[in-house]
Structure formats: structure tokens, C-alpha cells
């Protein structure tokens, strides 16, 4: 895998430089905005999206300069989505460090995400000089579609959690993931790379198919990795998707295949809110300690617990709930099912790549193959 790693690293470096260039000092330097914009990109993501765009463009005979600003824009969007996602999912960690909203507060993190999206438009307009008017407008149209699909997918997922919807099959999940993940992480990077190299509109169709399957395999695997560690060992930070009640393929499969009693219990747990970061867990211990030391009466304890449970006074999920869900996923064979679906999606991606007979053999095409293999490997 060393050649792929080298390629990804080169793309990451080129992109990082381009993003720094976009953050020109006359535009927000005073407020520290640019340091915050660069925070996530400099935490060392894999630059997968830029690499897909760059490999496609170069492999189809385009120039690096034709695609690099667009590739950097995709990396900006990706990191903006990550910042807003981390707020939306109440995630506390990102690439081994506190999430931006944990470090700087939700207000600043919301604005930094907005700023990254705002910075993305001008480089795409500058494409007119770079790749010509027609391709520039087609790239803009692709990006407009990408952002619409992404927020749509995100809205569906958030709504499933909010309304505790659970009677959903593999097809519902795959449709949501195509919107939420495939468009911005795979389909659009491949397509804008092709457009920057002067590809014809009909060539974009099989790239959409390739990106759709790659995205599904990638997201399912990501969700499986989120469950990799037993929450018994690692506590709250592992299995974050279960705390969040995220409708993953394995959770939906487990709900569909559980015995009626287990199904009811699982739906009940999923309807409980996630404990809030500040209070529930530490406050519980503190209150117990006060009662044990006789500093708090039982009725006072009950009153405080009710009030602390939040606006709706609804109870929260606890660690036992998460452990139980985790075991349910194993008991119903849902992890194996998800692995099989991801595997099939990766196979479909490999098949889609094999059909691209207008994409000549090259180092760059090999990189795309290796990326498909990489996603494939992750599913095992």
C-alpha cells in the first residue's frame, strides 16, 4: 500500500498549501478565523476526496492546476461538514483531539463551518479562467447538487433519530447514505476531476455509479469501526453511534431481526435521549456521594435528578443500555450482515471501475483501483 500512501500524502500536501492560499491574510486574519479554518484540515485527514479528484483528472489527461483549487474546495466542504457534524452528533473528539466546538464553543464552531463553505465559492468561480467557462459552470453545478444532496441526507438521518423511526430496511439506509456520504465524498470528487480534464457529460454517469457504491461501502465500514471496541472496556467515547441512536445498517437489521421483547426494549432505549456532556454522568456520581455522606436527602436527590434530566425531564440512555444494544447487534448477526452488504457494495464499485474503458491504464487509474481495494479491505 506504500504507493497509495505516497499518492495520498502528496495530494494532502498540495491541498493544504492551496487551502492556505485561499485563506489570504486580508480576509479574516485579524479575528483568528483562518487559524480555526485550518484546524481540522491540519489534523491530518487522509485527503481522500482531493485524491479522488486529482487521480481522475490526471488519469484522464488533465493538468494538476486545473483540478487542485476544486479539490481543495472539496476538502474545505468536507471539513466544514465535519465541524457541523460534530456539533450535530455531539461528538467530543475528532482525529484524536477535542472537536472544534469543544475547544472553542458551539457559536464559533458554527461560524467556522459557515466560513469554510463561504470560502469555497470564489475558487470555483475562478475556474472560469482555469478550465474555461463550460467546465467551470459544470463544476459549479456539480457542487451545488452535492451540497443539496448532503444536507438532504443529513436531514433524513437526523429526523430518523429525532422521531425514533426504526422500521427501515437496507434500501432506506442505502438511499440515505448515498445522499449523506456518497455524493460529497465520492461521486462529486470523481466527477469534478473528470470535468476538469474535459470529460464528456455521458462519462459522468458511470462515475456516479462507482462513487455511489464506494460511498456505501465506506460508510457502512465506518459505522462498523465505530462499534469495534466493546463499550464495556472503553466507556462513552466508543460506540458513540449507539449513544446517539444513529440508524446504522446493523442497528436497523438488529431491530428487524430481534425477538419481539428485545425489539420493544431496543426501541425504548433508542427513544431515550443521549446524556449531556456536562451533567448526567458526573452529576450522578456527585449526587450519590452527597446522599451517601448524608449531605443530601433522598427527596432532594429525587428532585435534583428530575430537574437535571433536562427540559423534558426525560431519562437518558445509560451505559447498561448501550451494552445491551451492543450485545443485541451481535446476537442478531447484524454485524455480519452489514459486513456482507459493505462487501457487495465494494464489489459493485470494483465492477463499475472495470467498465471505464475510456479511462486509460496509468499510475492514476491504479490509485483509484487501490482506493477501491482499500475500502474493500476495510470491510473485512
Q: Which residues bind a second copy (CB under 8 A)?
A: 27-28, 30-33, 36, 84, 87-90, 104-108, 110-115, 117-119, 121-122, 125, 128, 133, 137, 140-141, 143-145, 147-148, 150-152, 154-156, 158-159, 162, 278-279, 282-283, 286, 290, 293-297, 299-300, 303-304, 307-308, 310-311
Measured between alpha carbons, how far is 348 from 329 in angstroms, rounded to an integer? 26
Tell me how far, at minimum, the Cβ of 295 lies from a second copy, in Å: 4
Cβ-based nearer residue to a second copy, 155 or 340: 155
| Pick 61 or 134: Cβ nearer a second copy | 134
* Sign of the CA dihedral with 260 first, then 264, 265, and 266 last: positive
Nearer Cβ to a second copy (185/221): 185
Query: By C-alpha distance, which of 247, 163, 178 is closest to 208?
Result: 178
Q: Which residues contact 182 (CB under 8 A, 6 or more apart)?
A: 211, 212, 214, 215, 216, 219
State which residue, 174 or 349, has the beta carbon closest to a second copy.
174
Assign 93 to helix, strand or coil: strand
The cell numbers describing 61, all together, are 489527461
Select 138 or 376, whichever has its Cβ closest to a second copy: 138
Smallest distance from a second copy to CB 152, Å: 4
Smallest distance, a second copy to C-beta of residue 280, A = 12
Nearest-10 Cα torsion for 319, 321, 325, 331: 100
Distances in Å between the Cα of 271 and the Cα atoms of 37, 87, 172, 225, 315 are 35, 20, 20, 24, 10
Q: How far is the CB of 81 from a second copy (least distance, A)?
A: 8
Q: How far is the CB of 138 from a second copy (least distance, A)?
A: 10
User: What string of DSSP letters covers 221-259?
Assistant: HHHHHHTSS-HHHHGGGTTHHHHHT---HHHHHHHHHS-
Q: Pick between residue 6 and residue 27 the one whose CB is nearest to a second copy.
A: 27
In the complex, least distance from residue 170 CB atom to a second copy, rounded to whole angstroms: 17
Amino acid at each position: 500500500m506504500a504507493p497509495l500512501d505516497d499518492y495520498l500524502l502528496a495530494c494532502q500536501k498540495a491541498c493544504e498549501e492551496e487551502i492556505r492560499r485561499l485563506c489570504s491574510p486580508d480576509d479574516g486574519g485579524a479575528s483568528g478565523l483562518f487559524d480555526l479554518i485550518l484546524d481540522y484540515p491540519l489534523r491530518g485527514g487522509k485527503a481522500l476526496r482531493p485524491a479522488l479528484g486529482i487521480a481522475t483528472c490526471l488519469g484522464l489527461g488533465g493538468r494538476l492546476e486545473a483540478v487542485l483549487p476544486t479539490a481543495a474546495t472539496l476538502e474545505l466542504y468536507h471539513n466544514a461538514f465535519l465541524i457541523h457534524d460534530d456539533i450535530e452528533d455531539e461528538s467530543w473528539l475528532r482525529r484524536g483531539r477535542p472537536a472544534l466546538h469543544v475547544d472553542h464553543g458551539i457559536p464559533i464552531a458554527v461560524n467556522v463551518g459557515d466560513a469554510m463553505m463561504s470560502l469555497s465559492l470564489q475558487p470555483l468561480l475562478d475556474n472560469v479562467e482555469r478550465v474555461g467557462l463550460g467546465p467551470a459552470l459544470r463544476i459549479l453545478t456539480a457542487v451545488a447538487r452535492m451540497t443539496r444532496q448532503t444536507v438532504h441526507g443529513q436531514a433524513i438521518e437526523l429526523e430518523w433519530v429525532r422521531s425514533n423511526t426504526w422500521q427501515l430496511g437496507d434500501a432506506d439506509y442505502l438511499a440515505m447514505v448515498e445522499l449523506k456520504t456518497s455524493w460529497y465524498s465520492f461521486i462529486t470528487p470523481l466527477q469534478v476531476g473528470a470535468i476538469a480534464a474535459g470529460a464528456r457529460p455521458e462519462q459522468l454517469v458511470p462515475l456516479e455509479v462507482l462513487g455511489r457504491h464506494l460511498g456505501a461501502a465506506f460508510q457502512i465500514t465506518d459505522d462498523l469501526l465505530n462499534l469495534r471496541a466493546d463499550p464495556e472496556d472503553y466507556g462513552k467515547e466508543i460506540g458513540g453511534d449507539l449513544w446517539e441512536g444513529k440508524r446504522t445498517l446493523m442497528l436497523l437489521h438488529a431491530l428487524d431481526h430481534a425477538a419481539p421483547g428485545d425489539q420493544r426494549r431496543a426501541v425504548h432505549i433508542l427513544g431515550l435521549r443521549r446524556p449531556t456532556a456536562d451533567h448526567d454522568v458526573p452529576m450522578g456520581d456527585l449526587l450519590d456521594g452527597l446522599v451517601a455522606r448524608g449531605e443530601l436527602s433522598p427527596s432532594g436527590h429525587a428532585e435534583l435528578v428530575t430537574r437535571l434530566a433536562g427540559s423534558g425531564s426525560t431519562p437518558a440512555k445509560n451505559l447498561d443500555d448501550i451494552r445491551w444494544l451492543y450485545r443485541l447487534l451481535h446476537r442478531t448477526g447484524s454485524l455480519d450482515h452489514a459486513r456482507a452488504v459493505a462487501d457487495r457494495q465494494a464489489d459493485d464499485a470494483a465492477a463499475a471501475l472495470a467498465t471505464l474503458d475510456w479511462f486509460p491504464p496509468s499510475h492514476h487509474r491504479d490509485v483509484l483501483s487501490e482506493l477501491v481495494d482499500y475500502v474493500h479491505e476495510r470491510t473485512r
